[in-house]
């Protein structure tokens, strides 16, 4: 087992020796490995740009990926990247010092997208859409400059569920964050290896490891966001019925197009009875069905 070995990556130095933490760590590593294998993320010899915000999720992702690489289970090169977006009071030295200490190859990029967002977004409107678009564009550029084949993001299971319900409630579509996609230009993969990991596990793990968490003072500081509202709904469901989140997430992996309503995914017009079923019908009912006018 992973915990039976003494030689661990520096990201795991000082890890608690409790049984509870060992189970948590194994569960996270297992979930990440399952997602990587299930969605075909690994290409031998590839190079990944691992996006690090300084939040609990990205720290957990970085540790899990390096654990798998340390054990020879992830044959790719990893480069951590933090995009300093010029937020007032952002502790610019925290991540570089942490990554140096952890012996993690990295790149710190400064781009003042904060000023752009504050200038372009009207008062009272949320920053998320523009902030995300600017951040993603910079990360794609950095990935190309570093010779990476993939941009790796720290969205977890709960992010995926929340996005699904945001699209359901506000977007009029059934869609969410896919664990793997190709960017619009077609030259980079986007991976989400935490797709199977619960947010609660990320929080417990990063807190137990005492990683230097950097709070988001831009989009994360706004009240009344749609995502916050959806999170509250999911929290209520989970409280009343523990395990509800995992059941809903499993449903996203078990979709039956023939039992939905989208004619682009299932050929309802071409649906017909089998020969055996036709034999059992009466002749007077076997006439061609008239087309609706």
Dihedral angle of Cα 25, 191, 66, 105, to the nearest 10 degrees: -140
Q: How many helices (H) and strands (E) does the chain have?
A: 10, 6
Is 81 annotated among the ligand-binding residues?
A: no
Is 51 annotated among the ligand-binding residues?
A: no
Per-state percent for the chain, helix, strand, coil, to nearest 5: 45, 10, 45
CB neighbourhood size of 186 (10 A) = 6
Is 216 annotated among the ligand-binding residues?
A: no
29: exposed, middle or buried (C-beta count within 10 Å: 0-12, 13-18, 19+)? buried
Q: Name the CA radius of gyration of the chain, rounded.
A: 23
Task: Identify which of 30, 34, 66 has the alpha carbon closest to the alpha carbon of residue 48.
Answer: 66
What strands, in cross-sheet order, belong to the sheet with 150-152?
A: 106-110, 77-84, 47-51, 150-152, 189-191, 180-182
| Residue stretches of the annotated binding site for [4Fe-4S] cluster | 128, 131, 219
| Residue stretches of the annotated binding site | 128, 131, 219
């Amino acid at each position: 087992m992973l915990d039976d070995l003494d030689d661990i990556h520096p990201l795991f130095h000082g890890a608690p020796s409790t049984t509870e933490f060992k189970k948590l760590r194994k569960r996270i590593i297992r979930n990440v490995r399952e997602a990587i294998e299930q969605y075909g993320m690994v290409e031998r010899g590839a190079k990944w740009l691992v996006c690090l915000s300084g939040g609990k999720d990205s720290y957990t992702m970085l540790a899990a990926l390096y654990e798998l690489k340390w054990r020879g289970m992830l044959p790719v090169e990893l480069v951590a990247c933090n995009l300093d977006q010029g937020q007032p009071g952002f502790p610019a030295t925290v991540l570089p010092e942490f990554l140096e200490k952890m012996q993690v190859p990295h790149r710190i990029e400064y781009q003042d997208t904060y000023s752009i967002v504050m200038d372009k977004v009207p008062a009272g409107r949320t920053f998320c859409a523009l902030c995300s678009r600017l951040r993603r564009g910079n990360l794609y550029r950095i990935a190309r400059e570093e010779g990476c084949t993939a941009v790796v993001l720290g969205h977890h299971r709960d992010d995926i569920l929340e996005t699904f319900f945001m699209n359901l409630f506000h977007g009029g579509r059934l869609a969410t964050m896919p664990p793997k996609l190709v960017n619009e230009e077609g030259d980079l993969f986007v991976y989400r290896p935490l797709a199977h990991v619960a947010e609660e596990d990320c929080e417990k793990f990063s807190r137990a490891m005492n990683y230097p968490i950097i709070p988001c003072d831009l989009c994360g500081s706004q009240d009344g966001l749609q995502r916050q509202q959806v999170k509250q709904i999911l929290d209520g469901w989970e409280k009343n019925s523990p395990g509800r989140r995992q059941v809903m997430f499993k449903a996203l992996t078990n979709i039956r197009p023939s039992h939905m309503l989208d004619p682009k995914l299932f050929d309802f017009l071409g649906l017909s009875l089998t020969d055996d079923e036709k034999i059992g019908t009466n002749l007077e009912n076997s006439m061609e069905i008239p087309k609706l006018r």
